[in-house]
Amino acid sequence: MDRRQRKTREAIFNAFTDLLSQKDFSQITVGEIIQRADIGRATFYAHFETKDFLLKELCEELFCHLFDAMDDQKSGHRHIFDCDAPDSVFLHLFRHLQKNDNNILGLLSCRNNELFLRYFRDGLRQLVENQLQIFDTEKSKKLPRSFFINHIVSTFVETTRWWVDNGMKESPETITELFLTVI
């Protein structure tokens, strides 16, 4: 992707996340996104088929960032999420949630969050599969792999919901420790 395309994509992401901080996903129109990003309709559709695909790309960007940080890749990919990678990929994710990068908490808590949660779960599933060795115990070896991965993903999502619903009083380090303890 050339620099101009990257800047356009960033403008679309910024407009979208800005709108998400003000209204529910279901109430946002492509027209509002292109107006705020100061681009043409054809330009938007050259990057994203629909606003649902834009949401999917936002989620993929988050997980791509996490995977690149986890693998310590120095690729040419420039992420919309910027930070130093901590030891734990789950701590890293909780820190992004705490900072509310790109209004990710708004997506988690909005009334129409089913689509976001589906994309979020898909990314988490891939993340857990890549990190499964940290959950490796005698007990886990007796479980079907897909069941165990689903359990970890579901526990992470519910841990995140509990944390957000309770005002995120715990630090990312504490909530990561709680999450890893129950798994």
Task: Tell whether 138 is covered by a domain.
Answer: yes
Q: How far, in whole angstroms, is CA 3 from its chain's centroid? A: 24
Q: How far apart are CA 59 and CA 116, in angstroms?
A: 8
DSSP 15-67: HHHHHHTTS-GGG--HHHHHHHHT--HHHHHHH-SSHHHHHHHHHHHHHHHHH
pLDDT of residue 85: 53
pLDDT of residue 1: 66
DSSP 8-state secondary structure symbol assigned to residue 132: G
pLDDT of residue 73: 46
- CA dihedral angle for residue 172, residue 148, residue 116, residue 70, rounded to 10 degrees: 50
pLDDT of residue 111: 58
Tens-digit pLDDT profile for the chain (183 aa)? Answer: 688 998 999 899 989 888 877 887 888 999 999 999 999 999 999 999 999 899 888 877 766 766 665 555 444 444 555 555 556 788 888 887 887 766 677 666 665 567 778 888 888 898 888 888 888 888 788 899 999 999 999 999 899 889 988 989 999 999 999 999 998
Task: Tell whether 25 is covered by a domain.
Answer: no
Distant-in-sequence, close-in-space partners of 160: CB < 8 Å, separation ≥ 6: 94, 97, 108
130: domain range? Answer: 55-182
pLDDT of residue 131: 83
Our count of domains for the chain comes to 1
pLDDT of residue 74: 46
pLDDT of residue 76: 45
Half-sphere exposure of 178 (CA within 13 A, CB side): 14
Task: Tell whether 126 is covered by a domain.
Answer: yes
pLDDT of residue 65: 66
pLDDT of residue 109: 65
pTM, to two decimals: 0.72
Task: Tell whether 31 is covered by a domain.
Answer: no
Cα separations in angstroms, 59 against 47, 64, 75: 15, 9, 19
